[in-house]
């Protein structure tokens, strides 16, 4: 069944929360315009969200997302045709005038969603840049102490992409209102677009009483909340830990700690080291769950800059190996298709560990109970 099926417009007019209810997607809590909770496929907590205003869903672990039809495919694991049948019934002949009216309504709704998304994106980018301007250099702060306790140093000095705020609030929209969940020392890292513009900040709240550990943050109901949050638009961006090298050799891990562990170990001195923010950004959307085949129409995914000759993605060994590898393979394949002649591969950590665990073992640094990335 082609995506041009006229029933698509009818399906997209169904409120996405109504679709979720029909699918039995429960245990989602309100967070502003979103409903967040466990993913019905991978079970990842606080990584699955449905935005009722934009009529889209996203799972940061699965790397899946999309509209009402995509949500049905994600939950039921069915084909596009079967998803349409679930939502609006089997295909029937529709009056051309009624079809035109449905298409016009769908196009108007799509324009409204796109305009709302762009407004939200612009506002989030402005907020991110304001946070960045307030931040101070990270050297000789709790940010430096946090990374040093994890065995991480920077051979060429502190990256200008990492700053620090001594008293930064962690806020989340709950029930339509911004709620401050935590306040304290925070490492602020710039996420730069392919044009080198700062479009987001990656925030890591630090516990100064526990060297090398993140702060413990909870929602008002006591549910644990992430100590790492991104504000702004990470679309295709990266945290640049080193300047671009003429070698054209790029090494990228998901997080700052993973990528910096290889950098601070003194390996691959001719390489450029950037952090990819998260696996969804690095891998982008896939054609089918865990297929490793990139959906090339995904314009939000990271693509290496022109001049890249070799690309290595770092795979930590403490997360779902199948899902993680599929995301990384999709990102590498996307890069190969867009940069002819690119050499690309995956470097994997020891099973059950991440690269920072390995660095600390090498340096004899404490590793008891340290959080993984």
Query: Do 163 and 239 fall into the same domain?
Result: yes
User: Which of 28-42, 133-147, 274-288 bottoms out in mean pLDDT, i.e. has the lowest?
Assistant: 28-42
Mean of the pLDDT values across residues 180-187? 96
pLDDT digit string, tens, across residues 163-183: 999 999 999 888 778 899 999
What gap in Å lies between CA 175 and CA 172, rounded to an integer? Answer: 10
DSSP characters over 294-309: B-TT-TTS--PPTT--
pLDDT surpassing 90 at residue 259: yes
Mean pLDDT of the chain: 87
pLDDT surpassing 60 at residue 370: no
The reply to whether 32 falls in a domain is yes
pLDDT surpassing 60 at residue 364: yes
pLDDT at 198: 97
pLDDT surpassing 60 at residue 94: no
What gap in Å lies between CA 331 and CA 325, rounded to an integer? Answer: 10
The reply to whether 223 falls in a domain is yes
The reply to whether 99 falls in a domain is no
pLDDT surpassing 70 at residue 13: yes
- Residue 168: domain span: 125-363
Contacts of residue 361, defined as CB under 8 A and 6 or more positions apart, other chains included, come to: 367
The reply to whether 114 falls in a domain is no
| 2 pLDDT tier (thresholds 50, 70, 90) | very low
pLDDT surpassing 60 at residue 155: yes
pLDDT surpassing 80 at residue 293: yes
Query: Do 187 and 333 fall into the same domain?
Result: yes
Mean of the pLDDT values across residues 354-362? 88
Mean of the pLDDT values across residues 286-308? 88
Query: Do 129 and 23 fall into the same domain?
Result: no
pLDDT surpassing 90 at residue 159: yes
The reply to whether 293 falls in a domain is yes
- With 0-12 / 13-18 / 19 or more C-beta atoms within 10 angstroms meaning exposed / middle / buried, residue 175 is exposed
Which among 187-191, 233-237, 269-273, 358-362 has the top mean pLDDT?
Answer: 187-191
pLDDT digit string, tens, across residues 49-69: 898 888 899 888 777 889 999
| 373 pLDDT tier (thresholds 50, 70, 90) | very low
The reply to whether 108 falls in a domain is no
Total domains in the chain come to: 2
Considering just the CA atoms, what is the radius of gyration of the chain in Å? 22
Mean of the pLDDT values across residues 68-92? 84
Which of 50, 73, 94 is the endpoint of a domain? 94
Query: Do 229 and 329 fall into the same domain?
Result: yes
Give me the CATH number covering residue 56: 3.90.580.10
| 229 pLDDT tier (thresholds 50, 70, 90) | very high
pLDDT digit string, tens, across residues 102-153: 667 767 777 887 788 889 899 999 999 999 999 999 988 999 999 999 999 9
């Amino acid at each position: 069944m082609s995506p041009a099926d006229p029933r698509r417009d009818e399906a997209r007019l169904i409120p996405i929360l109504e679709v979720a209810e029909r699918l039995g997607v429960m245990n989602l809590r309100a967070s502003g315009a979103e409903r967040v909770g466990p993913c019905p496929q991978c079970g990842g907590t606080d990584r699955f969200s449905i935005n009722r205003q934009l009529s889209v869903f996203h799972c940061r672990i699965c790397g899946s997302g999309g509209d009402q039809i995509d949500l049905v495919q994600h939950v039921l694991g069915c084909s596009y045709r079967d998803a349409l049948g679930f939502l609006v019934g089997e295909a029937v002949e529709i009056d051309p005038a009624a079809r035109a009216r449905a298409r016009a309504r769908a196009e108007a709704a799509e324009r409204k969603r796109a305009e709302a998304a762009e407004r939200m994106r612009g506002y989030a980018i402005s907020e991110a840049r304001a946070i960045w301007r307030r931040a101070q250099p990270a050297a000789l702060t709790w940010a430096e102490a946090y990374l040093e306790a994890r065995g991480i140093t920077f051979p060429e000095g502190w990256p200008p992409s990492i700053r620090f705020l001594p008293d930064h609030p962690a806020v989340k929209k709950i029930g339509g209102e911004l709620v401050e969940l935590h306040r304290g020392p925070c490492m602020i890292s710039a996420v730069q677009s392919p044009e080198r513009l700062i479009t987001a900040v990656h925030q890591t709240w630090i516990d100064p009483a526990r060297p090398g550990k993140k702060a413990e943050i909870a929602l008002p109901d006591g549910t644990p909340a992430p100590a790492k949050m991104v504000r702004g638009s990470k679309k295709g961006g990266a945290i640049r830990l080193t300047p671009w090298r003429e070698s054209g050799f790029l090494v990228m891990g998901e997080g700052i700690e993973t990528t910096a562990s290889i950098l601070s170990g003194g390996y691959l001195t001719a390489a450029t080291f950037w952090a990819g923010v998260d696996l969804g950004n690095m891998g982008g959307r896939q054609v089918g769950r865990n297929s490793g085949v990139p959906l090339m129409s995904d314009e939000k995914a990271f693509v290496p800059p022109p001049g890249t000759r070799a690309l290595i993605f770092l795979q930590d060994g403490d997360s779902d190996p199948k899902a993680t590898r599929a995301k990384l393979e999709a990102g590498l394949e996307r890069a190969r298709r867009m940069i002819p002649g690119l050499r690309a591969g995956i470097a994997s950590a020891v099973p059950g560990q991440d690269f920072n665990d390995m660095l600390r073992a090498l340096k004899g640094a404490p590793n008891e109970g340290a959080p993984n990335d």
